[in-house]
């Protein structure tokens, strides 16, 4: 059976699969070449260096962000975009930190930024408010996702840690903090997640600002 020819697309898809499986630190030219079954020098016929690979796989993640074009309501469109962006970043756990440190961007990443700015402009936001709204929304998506990905405890480990912490806290000095910690131990079945609640508050606030309220 003939081997699939090496191409930039094949290199990038192999790179994103490796990063997803083992983390971004596992990605190197030598390791990627091994995964593809080629010599490391063969990769340089398709990509200039590792930086080009990192930019390329980040753009593949950005291509998974939904850019709605079938709704005239800016909040609905921005909500769909934000949730799909968060979901894509959670699927590719390495991507959030890389997004925050990488300079420039590929076609999908540029298209994402342009869509956000255009959606705000067409909704009637002023130039100054567009500037701030864009950064507020991007910071919320990236920041919330990074916190979710980097929280070190879950399940029984979290329950044990919280229980131990509660035993050490004087109940009369920190009653509200204790109540909050206890709520972490109870199952939550709200229809709206914390991410979506925060997103609603941001979008509603921006809408009031847009209307001059």
Report the length, in residues, of the chain.
213
Q: How many CA atoms lie within 13 A of 32 on its CB side?
A: 30
* Full domain range(s) for residue 101: 73-210
Same domain, 56 and 151: no
**Residue 3 forms part of a structural domain:** no
Same domain, 161 and 92: yes
The answer to whether the Cα torsion of 52, 60, 39, 3 is positive or negative is negative
What is the average per-residue pLDDT within 108-123?
A: 96
Same domain, 53 and 158: no
**What local confidence, expressed as pLDDT, does residue 162 receive?**
72
CA distances from 131 to 120, 134, 137 (A): 10, 6, 11
**Residue 196 forms part of a structural domain:** yes
Q: Is the pLDDT of residue 165 over 90?
A: no
2-43 confidence digits (pLDDT tens): 567 899 999 999 999 999 999 999 999 999 999 999 999 999
What is the average per-residue pLDDT within 107-123?
A: 95
Tokens found for residue 89: 């970043």
Same domain, 95 and 52: no
Same domain, 17 and 94: no
Tell me the C-alpha distance between 207 and 100, whole Å. 26
Same domain, 104 and 178: yes
Q: Which of 40, 61, 82 is the last residue of a domain?
A: 61
Same domain, 108 and 142: yes
Tell me the C-alpha distance between 47 and 11, whole Å. 8
Same domain, 125 and 188: yes
Which domain CATH number covers 95?
1.10.357.10
- Say how far residue 24 (Cα) sits from the centre of its chain: 15
**Residue 1 forms part of a structural domain:** no
- The number of folded domains in the chain is 2
Tell me the C-alpha distance between 202 and 139, whole Å. 11
Maximum mean pLDDT: which of 44-58, 143-157, 186-200: 44-58
Same domain, 165 and 131: yes
pTM: 0.85
- Give the long-range contacts of residues 191-199, CB within 8 A, separation 24 or more: 194/144, 195/83, 195/86, 195/144, 195/148, 196/79, 196/83, 198/140, 198/144, 199/79, 199/82, 199/83, 199/140
Q: Which of 36, 61, 86 is the last residue of a domain?
A: 61
Confidence of residue 1 (pLDDT cuts 50, 70, 90): very low
User: To the nearest whole percent, how much of the chain has pLDDT over 90?
Assistant: 68
**Residue 66 forms part of a structural domain:** no
173-190 confidence digits (pLDDT tens): 888 888 887 777 776 655
Tell me the C-alpha distance between 87 and 145, whole Å. 9
Q: Is the pLDDT of residue 148 over 70?
A: yes
**Residue 42 forms part of a structural domain:** yes
Same domain, 37 and 84: no
**Residue 120 forms part of a structural domain:** yes
Tell me the C-alpha distance between 68 and 65, whole Å. 9
Which domain CATH number covers 43?
1.10.10.60
CA distances from 137 to 15, 186, 196 (A): 29, 30, 12
Same domain, 28 and 113: no
Same domain, 96 and 158: yes
């Amino acid at each position: 059976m003939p081997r699939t020819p090496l191409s930039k697309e094949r290199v990038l898809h192999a790179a994103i699969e490796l990063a997803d499986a083992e983390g971004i630190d596992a990605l190197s030219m030598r390791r990627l070449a091994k995964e593809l079954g080629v010599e490391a020098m063969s990769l340089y016929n398709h990509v200039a260096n590792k930086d080009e690979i990192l930019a390329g796989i980040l753009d593949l993640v950005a291509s998974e962000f939904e850019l709605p074009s079938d709704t005239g309501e800016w909040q609905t469109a921005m909500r769909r975009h934000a949730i799909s962006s968060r979901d894509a970043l959670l699927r590719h756990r390495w991507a959030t930190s890389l997004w925050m440190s990488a300079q420039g961007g590929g076609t999908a990443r540029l298209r994402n930024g342009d869509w956000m700015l255009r959606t705000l402009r067409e909704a009637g936001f002023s130039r100054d408010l567009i500037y701030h709204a864009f950064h507020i929304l991007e910071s919320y998506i990236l920041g919330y996702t990074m916190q979710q990905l980097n929280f070190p405890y879950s399940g029984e480990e979290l329950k044990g840690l919280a229980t131990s912490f509660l035993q050490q806290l004087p109940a009369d000095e920190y009653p509200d903090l204790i109540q909050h910690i206890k709520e972490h131990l109870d199952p939550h079945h709200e229809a709206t997640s914390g991410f979506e609640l925060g997103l609603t508050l941001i979008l509603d606030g921006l809408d009031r600002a847009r209307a001059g309220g």
